[in-house]
Amino acid sequence: MIRAGVIGATGYAGAELVRLLSGHPGAEVAAVSSVSFLGKPLSEVYPAYFHLCDQICVEQGEAVEQSDVVFAALPHGLSQELAAECHAKGKVFIDLGADFRLENEADYQQWYGGSFLYPELHQIAVYALPELFREKIRGKTIIANPGCYTTAVPLALFPALKNGLIEKDGILADCKSGVTGAGRGLTRNTHFAELNEGMSPYKVAVHRHTPEMEQTLSHAAGAPVRLTFVPHLLPVNRGILATCYARLKPGVTQEQLNEAYREQYKDEYFIRLLPQGREADIKNVRCSNFCDISLHADPRTNTFVAVSAIDNMVKGAAGQAIQNMNLAFGLEETAGLKLFPPAF
């Protein structure tokens, strides 16, 4: 059994990692770590885990020592030192934060206000969106796990850009997120009285996920891609709905789009291309590692609309991290993740 340590286990993504790893056939939760709840059982923080995971939250260093793979569910800026420690000790390191996602240090400085503390580790790190970069992930020891928006938007647009079916300019990503994406700490806009019965955009055109999405889409297009990204906060716990708009190249048909996506994703267990006439819905992927995609061509306005839906805590965080662990250790990629979404 692979021994897994979860750093930041009492945050939402960390708790979801524990839930999913507890049902993994080839891995076990060896240690959980938390600064805020050091010395307390995880089931005290999350009563749903009572008698299922009563492990005591330990110091970060102790969790590293007890583990073969370390998952870091931490805010940006806190993972590079931990990655260096894990690398020195021969541990696989999977970062759910942003510290290793961007290839260009100038972008990291601009959007996150930090620098690459260990450039040599960034050189060996891999950006790990499995459906797009699978072969680069196998056997790697420092893995940058994409976030929620940065999974949903590229999966929705990658085949169209790769096959030259849409214009690279003027792409719009209009996205909605469940409130768990904001983390466990309470802020004014995640307070129940502010959030309930409302929906509003936030960080319009300045969200930190923008350069990460552009980086992936530029790989698809083989040229720089810029997009306008507008996220919104939904009064639901889970889910990302990404509605992406682009201009169709002259003469491109719905069937050409359908064929490009079928070819790109034909062997992808976790991507479900929906039949024509159906639209992606966050309800249908809840608590699962699936990404549902629906494709729509509007010949009247020459517009392509791709809609993707994921669970931000699973495919957008913990589930994808476990998918990457499976690849890194040579396990069946779907191990521990073949979970049906609830029907209601």
Q: Is 287 a catalytic residue?
A: no
pLDDT of residue 71: 98
SS3 70: strand
Same fold, 2-146+315-328 and 149-311: no
With CA atoms as reference, report the closest residue to 104 among 123, 128, 90, 87: 123
CATH no. for 2-146+315-328: 3.40.50.720
Among candidate residues 53, 86, 148, 291, the one labeled active-site is 148
Helices 210-221 and 130-137 sit at what angle, rounded to 10 degrees?
A: 80
Residue with token string 């609830």 = 342
Distance CA 68, CA 63 (A): 10
Per-residue pLDDT at 194: 83
Residue 337: Cβ within 10 Å count: 23
pLDDT tens-place values along the chain, 344 residues long:
999 999 999 999 999 999 999 999 999 999 999 999 999 999 999 999 999 999 999 999 999 999 999 999 999 899 999 999 999 999 999 999 999 999 999 999 999 999 999 999 999 999 999 999 999 999 999 999 999 999 999 999 999 999 999 999 999 999 999 999 888 877 777 888 888 888 999 999 999 999 999 999 999 999 999 999 999 999 999 999 999 999 999 999 999 999 999 999 999 999 999 999 999 999 999 999 999 999 999 999 999 999 999 999 999 999 999 999 999 999 999 999 999 999 98
Taking the domains of the chain in order of start, what are their residue ranges?
Answer: 2-146+315-328, 149-311
- CB neighbourhood size of 288 (10 A): 21
DSSP string for 202-263: -STTT-TTHHHHHHHHHHHHTS---EEEEEEE-SSSS-EEEEEEEEBPTT--HHHHHHHHHH
The angle that helices 319-328 and 130-137 make with each other, rounded to 10 degrees, is 30
Residues paired with residue 303 on neighbouring β-strands, in sequence order? 247, 298
Q: What is the pLDDT of residue 185?
A: 75
Report pTM.
Answer: 0.96
% helix / strand / coil in the chain, to the nearest 5? Answer: 35, 20, 45
- If residue 144 lies in a helix (H) or strand (E), which one and from where to where? strand 142-144
**The two three-digit tokens of residue 287, written as one number:** 């608590």
* CA within 13 Å, CB half, 36: 10
For 108, the token pair is 């990291």
- Residue 318 to residue 320: CA distance in whole angstroms: 6
Q: What secondary structure letter does DSSP report for 87? A: H
Dist CA 77 CA 211 (whole Å) = 17
- CA atoms of 244 and 227, how far apart (whole Å): 10
Q: What is the pLDDT of residue 63?
A: 97
By the 8 A CB rule, do 237 and 208 touch? no
Using CA atoms, how far apart are residues 29 and 22, in angstroms rounded to an integer?
Answer: 7
**For the domain 149-311, what is the CATH code?**
3.30.360.10
